[in-house]
Structure 1
């Protein structure tokens, strides 16, 4: 069903565009992982890279469940160390914008396309990130993980973002980097583009038949010729 939907959508029918933020608009994931690794070292705890990569795209509740299994009672002090260090960076320094972001956002604005963000990040942090990066002016709304009961890979966050734009989900383009995010967007029946960041699409996700491209530059080129 997912495959059928993704192979048959007509990209010319879109009425809105919804973007993930971390790892898609902003080169956040490398910064976040580096800080988490530093926090592990300071707290004399192991850095489980496979566990870390599995949390990408999830909201705070989902991350808590996975990390609690890996770190047990040590998670509380590790999380506090990580959060303090991370907020010290992202609330005061601009995270680099990823390749092709500004060009695509400018073009969509020129077309009069409503644009939103659907991110698992908490609203205050997400707002600060896009402001510091200088891209907040492009977005008509910001929907975050703390506003939904079910985080990615559940489709709720994309459904809420679409409703705030007054556009049915099937007429929205969705842009994601992570497998969890793609699962959410495809489940919401959106026309989904994946631009992989730290994690490549797994076999299960590839079966969805959505578009997988190297950068948002490639997305823009495809949309212009659609």
Structure 2
């Protein structure tokens, strides 16, 4: 499976920007923090420990998925007798332990945040991760104070790919969804932000954009460095 994103921005007519963005919203895992690879390793290690099957493809299917959807997803793949809760609990414990180590930031993140601050664009976070864990990660990496607002997965009724989390984040930032530029790495997240009416830049991480995501016409770039360059264009800089 090719997990490498393209090395250039792909922009369709549907992503043409009519006016400059007034705010920015970031996903967290896999977009700002290099945590998805760690999470995948925890899934596979827990499955091996319990003697359970879990293919690479099936684990990748949970990237960007709200935790509430994982039990039904796993049961649908492996049957109703599959020990879903045991696998989830074992994975969660491994993940919490791993997150006590320094969490790596994605290349170009700090430069992008610095530039947005200099331009006067308020920033928010819209993550499927629960608040307690999200705040831990953001504080541990020293970027929590960079964001005016955060919306977490345990604070919305309908998780990504529903638009709720991005609608709420835009509202808290005091701008219309169409005035926000969203940075996302997952297919679920891109679909959520697009449905909310936001302008989206996809920066794929461990899973490439799926055909249904590409059909939305969002720009896809290889890194946050390229995402910043595209945002500068949109802002007329």
What TM-score, normalized by structure 2, do the two folds share?
A: 0.89
- Once the two structures are TM-superposed, the CA of residue 29 in structure 1 deviates from its matched residue by 0.5
Q: Is contact 2:15-2:199 (8 Å) kept?
A: no
Q: 1: CA distance between counterparts of 2:201 and 2:52?
A: 36
- Number of residue pairs aligned between Structure 1 and Structure 2: 222
More helix by share: 1
Describe the superposition over 1:117-162 as per-residue Cα deviations: whole angstroms up to 9, x where unpaired.
0000010000000111111121111101111111100000000111
- Once the two structures are TM-superposed, the CA of residue 222 in structure 1 deviates from its matched residue by 2.4
Q: Is contact 1:194-1:210 (8 Å) kept?
A: yes
Query: Which deviates more from structure 2 when the two are superposed, residues 23-32 or residues 46-55?
Result: 46-55
- Aligned counterpart in structure 1 of residue 146 of structure 2, from 108, 131, 138: 138
1:198 matches 2:202:
no
Helix, strand or coil: the match of 1:117?
A: strand
Helix, strand or coil: the match of 1:192?
A: strand
Q: 1: CA distance between counterparts of 2:165 and 2:70?
A: 16
Q: Is contact 1:93-1:132 (8 Å) kept?
A: no
Q: 2: CA distance between counterparts of 1:110 and 1:57?
A: 30
Describe the superposition over 1:175-204 as per-residue Cα deviations: whole angstroms up to 9, x where unpaired.
100111100010011110000111111111
1:77 matches 2:86:
yes
Alpha carbons of 1:97 and 1:181: their partners in 2 closer, same or farther (altered >3 Å)? same
- Aligned counterpart in structure 1 of residue 36 of structure 2, from 26, 29, 41: 29
Describe the superposition over 1:49-100 as per-residue Cα deviations: whole angstroms up to 9, x where unpaired.
222111211211122221232344411111111111111121x222100011
Q: 1: CA distance between counterparts of 2:26 and 2:200?
A: 10
Query: Which deviates more from structure 2 when the two are superposed, residues 67-76 or residues 116-125?
Result: 67-76
Output aligned runs, 1:117-156, within 5 Å.
117-156=125-164
- Superposition CA RMSD, Å: 1.6
What TM-score, normalized by structure 1, do the two folds share?
A: 0.93
Match of 2:52 in 1: 45
Q: Is contact 1:120-1:145 (8 Å) kept?
A: yes
Describe the superposition over 1:103-128 as per-residue Cα deviations: whole angstroms up to 9, x where unpaired.
00011011111100000001000000
Output aligned runs, 1:96-135, within 5 Å.
96-135=104-143
Q: Show structure 1 runs of 5+ residues with no match.
A: none
Higher relative contact order (CA 8 A, sep 6+): 2
Q: Show structure 2 runs of 5+ residues with no match.
A: 1-10
